[in-house]
Structure 1
Amino acid sequence: MTASTSVPAAAQHDNAGFRRVLGLGSLLAVAVGLVVSQGVMVMMLQGVGAAGLGFIVPLALAYLLALSYAFSFSELALLVPRAGSLSSYTEVALGHFPAILATFSGYVVVAMFALSAELLLLDLIVGKVYPGVFPQYSVAFGVLALFTVLNLMGIDIFAKLQSAMAVVMVIVLLILGLAAISEGHAEGVTTTLLQGDWNPMGAGVLALTAMAVWGFVGAEFVCSLVEETRKPERNIPRSMTIGLTVIFATIGLYGLGALFLVPREALSSDALPHYLFATTVFGKTGEVFLVIAAVTATCSTLNTSLAAIPRMLYGMACNGQAFPQFKLLSPRARTPWVAVLFVAAITGLPVLLMGQDAAAINLLLLSAALAWLLAYIIVHLDVIALRRRYPHLPRPFRTPFYPLPQLFGIGGMLYAIWNASPSPEMNLKIFGTAGVVLAVVSLIAVAWIKGVMKKPLFRPEPL
């Protein structure tokens, strides 16, 4: 009886909801395009400047932590294949309060931090290369408006744009890194690097793990597109693991190239080290090269976020965890248009409030990373909880060597949170900013669950 009624229900959902049009290539572009942002370009160079070749240690650790969350998200996305992503998994594993807290603090609020920082960085770079040409904030808000409209037009346009931008961005970063390595090797820098102190920070280099993790967060955005994915049982896990590996190789070559030509002290202290790197390698031409990298990186990150986060809100609204207006789909394009406009609005607000302050940008990025890490801890707990509650349930994807990746991921994320910044003063600001956000989200979540949903905070829903 259950099997006979589930098929027409699923068919009806496909007809009334989203369309399955995304393949492996599109998902891979999402995984890579969301992660490799301008913020990543800046923070990875600052990490390389602080630790030299020793930065490979926290970078490799961050890559393994990223694979652990990719395994957990893959298992959950195929067990609970809903657009709500983390909120849908957590409501059946831990209850509604952790579901709302994880999704809003780890994704919706992060959009306010990270996407705003991306737009501010783009405005800074364009203003530095073309001074006086564009009015302040015109580039940031122009890009935000453009991609908001494009995402309202449908997932097909999103997929085509995302694939093109991700390819261009990775190629630009690889060219930059390889050109610097080639030029530095010709000048005899290789011997100097290998014979010098490869890890000046010693064991303290592990404190840069949180910074390195920022280079790998966001690949799981493919999971919120599961209802629009062809063959999700194959394409969801592959897109994340392949994407994270491509990112690891790209960041490694990019950072190594910077060490060949730019002094470490300059990389760690400059507010725009990617500008310094590009102009050192290619001179004045490097400015144009960097503008291409900056535009594609920011637009790719923004494009993915405006596609994925509204679908998380759509899923939450379907579960009763958010305003029902977020469930509204446009008749022709089948996009959650209210949710898209909401994410665009909360992205643009901090741009006006923070201004073009490089220190504020760094604080936004690190605070976003901390909130994101908390969401990853919750997703690992979701896997453990559902394995215990439903041990015999068929799973299209099962985490290899369970529960070791989950335990490693939880421990590593907690360590990264504790060492969010090498500077104690910055740590205080990061914890303060993230703490205020988590407190506000918690109060709203409690009020919504008790006042609107009329449900217990921590009672899991039936799967």
Structure 2
Amino acid sequence: MEKKLGLPSAIAVTVGLIVASSCLLSLGTGIGLAGRGFIISMLIVLVLNICLALSFSELHDLMPDAEGGMGQYTKVGLGSVPSIISNVSAYVVVNLLAASVEVAMCGMVVNELFLPQIPAPAISILFLAALLLINYHGVDIFSKIQNIVVGLLLLSILAMGIISSLKLGTGQIIDAASQTPPAVTGLSGYVSLSSMAFWLFIGIEFVIPVSKSLKNPKRDVLLAMILGISILFVLQSILGNGMTNYVTLTELASSSMPHMVFARNLLGTPGALWMGLITILAGVSTANTVLGGIPNVLAGMAENDLLPKCFAKKNKHNVALTGMFFIGIGDTILVITGVTNSSTLSSLLLAASCFWLTSYILVNLTVLVLRRRYPDHPARRKSLVLGGIPQIIAIIGDVYMIVHIAEGAQRIFIYQLYFVILAVTLIYAVIWTRFVRKQPMFVPADLSDIEGAASSYTNNQQPAAV
């Protein structure tokens, strides 16, 4: 019999799948712009994601065994076209951009610390090629050390946060008189930076696929999401506070890898090597997870007639090659063309945030729609409904973050990337659904037709009109 996991394991899964080396980039840049005020931005996102956790918990109660992620939820609530958009936005585009940032950071760190004579993009391409070759043969070399890598990253965040906050480092301490003033101040400024803080808590729903292995999934899925992001908030707040004791805000905001600058200022060369090794391990591990996992998401979409069948074909090693090479080629193009150069890493993460925010908006809308369609569903916990207030707050917050994603030239770059890819995804979804599959575009699937829907809702309980 399979051993069931308790709440601590569920929290570990949530935290482990959220944290990545790119989080350190966003944290350092945010602290550089607003100083300790960025912690307020993080707190705002924490509250919004707790509201989102309530939505995911409710959807999980309705479809406890569903494994289709956001796409399956939105197909029940909003129809096929929104389902394609939510899946592609959250799982394909986001991970394509995030993986390119991770391999780019690996290349920069190796170039800075070990191989200054080899250009960083070339090192990044070598990393990516090696990961493609490994995943082609169906070998996940990181599966056994994934928890170790995540544990090292979290312990490093905590250790460096405590050392720097208590001013125990070997580097020069920056007192208040020597610290440069923040570029962003006031509550309105901190709210505007919430979109940057959003990346620090992204992907809370990744605990849902392991819910079958939990002892008490109805309780622990929700608690794991809330406690997981709360723990991350505390750890990252400690580290962000400590950064201001050893690096000027101006230097943090202008650096392409502020966490590396901080580690060097904190502990000298040993600190840089420590943070560099963690960045490489976490970056390669994250990119490897994307190359190994996202092709399976694409294969699942193909099997459900949301993508061409070629994405469902697998080689003798049970690897979905079309999806893997799609991600690999996309990341290669982003690196070779210079999109992932040092000045655009933060912008790519913000663009990725826009796509995930889009999916979260659709998820919250799905919850509101399903309440109207299935008002008396016994699986719903009435105590968590709260009149739709959490969903409305989350939607307003998500829209605000997209609108205020950045300023100036950076905002134009992000919007160009976001709206072009979103338009292409929408056009594909409409053509594929309406003209290729000849199915209705916005007619939601019935809850009873979805595999994994709560069995207590019988066929004689018809959905209400919306």
Distance 1:402 1:377 in 2: 17
Distance 2:104 2:143 in 1: 25
**176-185 or 258-267, which moves further after superposition?**
176-185
Distance 2:215 2:321 in 1: 23
**Counterpart in 1 of 2:152?**
168
Quote the offset at 1:29 in angstroms.
4.6
Preserved contact between residue 279 and residue 285 of structure 1 (Cα < 8 Å) = yes
Preserved contact between residue 108 and residue 120 of structure 2 (Cα < 8 Å) = no
Amino acid at match of 1:362: S
**Counterpart in 1 of 2:234?**
249
Distance 1:302 1:25 in 2: 26
Quote the offset at 1:310 in angstroms.
3.4
Preserved contact between residue 101 and residue 441 of structure 1 (Cα < 8 Å) = yes
What's the CA shift string for 1:72-124, capped at 9, x where partnerless?
22322343333321111111100011111121123211222121111111111
Provide the secondary structure at the position in 1 that maps to 2:337. Answer: helix
**Counterpart in 1 of 2:265?**
280
Cα–Cα, structure 1 residues 196 and 30, in superposed 2: closer, same or farther, change >3 Å?
same
Distance 2:119 2:170 in 1: 42
Distance 1:233 1:452 in 2: 39
Distance 1:106 1:260 in 2: 36
**164-173 or 319-328, which moves further after superposition?**
319-328
**Counterpart in 2 of 1:404?**
389
Quote the offset at 1:173 in angstroms.
1.4
**Counterpart in 2 of 1:10?**
none
If the length of structure 1 is used for normalisation, what is the TM-score? 0.84
Quote the offset at 1:411 in angstroms.
1.0
- Taking the TM superposition and a 5 Å limit, the aligned residue runs for 1:73-152 are 73-80=56-63, 81-132=65-116, 136-137=120-121, 139-145=123-129, 147=131
**Counterpart in 2 of 1:301?**
286
2:32 aligned to which of 39, 49, 62: 49
**Counterpart in 1 of 2:42?**
59
Verify: 1:378 aligned to 2:362, yes or no. Answer: yes
Distance 2:336 2:399 in 1: 33
**Counterpart in 1 of 2:456?**
none
What is the identity percentage for the equivalent residue pairs of Structure 1 and Structure 2? 31
Quote the offset at 1:370 in angstroms.
1.1
Greater helix fraction, Structure 1 or Structure 2? 1
**287-296 or 77-86, which moves further after superposition?**
77-86
Amino acid at match of 2:21: Q
2:207 aligned to which of 216, 222, 225: 222
Provide the secondary structure at the position in 2 that maps to 1:359. Answer: coil
Distance 1:73 1:152 in 2: 33
Cα–Cα, structure 1 residues 34 and 374, in superposed 2: closer, same or farther, change >3 Å?
same
**Counterpart in 2 of 1:239?**
224
Quote the offset at 1:148 in angstroms.
5.1
What's the CA shift string for 1:40-74, capped at 9, x where partnerless?
21121111111112112111001111222222223
2:307 aligned to which of 322, 347, 350: 322
**Counterpart in 1 of 2:405?**
420
Distance 1:187 1:429 in 2: 37
Amino acid at match of 1:433: L
Distance 1:383 1:293 in 2: 38
Quote the offset at 1:198 in angstroms.
9.3
| Two-structure CA RMSD over aligned residues (Å) | 3.4
Preserved contact between residue 162 and residue 304 of structure 1 (Cα < 8 Å) = no
Distance 1:26 1:303 in 2: 22
Preserved contact between residue 172 and residue 246 of structure 2 (Cα < 8 Å) = no
What's the CA shift string for 1:383-405, capped at 9, x where partnerless?
11111111222337774635222
Preserved contact between residue 170 and residue 266 of structure 2 (Cα < 8 Å) = no
Q: Which ranges in structure 1 are unaligned for 5 or more consecutive residues?
A: 1-18
Distance 1:134 1:200 in 2: 37
Preserved contact between residue 54 and residue 199 of structure 1 (Cα < 8 Å) = no
Aligned residues: 442
Cα–Cα, structure 1 residues 296 and 21, in superposed 2: closer, same or farther, change >3 Å?
farther
If the length of structure 2 is used for normalisation, what is the TM-score? 0.83
Distance 2:287 2:350 in 1: 18
Distance 1:210 1:160 in 2: 33
1:259 aligned to which of 234, 237, 244: 244
Cα–Cα, structure 1 residues 169 and 207, in superposed 2: closer, same or farther, change >3 Å?
same
Q: Which ranges in structure 2 are unaligned for 5 or more consecutive residues?
A: 448-466
Amino acid at match of 2:190: V
Distance 2:379 2:54 in 1: 12
Quote the offset at 1:128 in angstroms.
0.8
What's the CA shift string for 1:348-387, capped at 9, x where partnerless?
3322222652122222111111111111111111111111
1:358 aligned to which of 324, 330, 342: 342
Cα–Cα, structure 1 residues 353 and 112, in superposed 2: closer, same or farther, change >3 Å?
farther
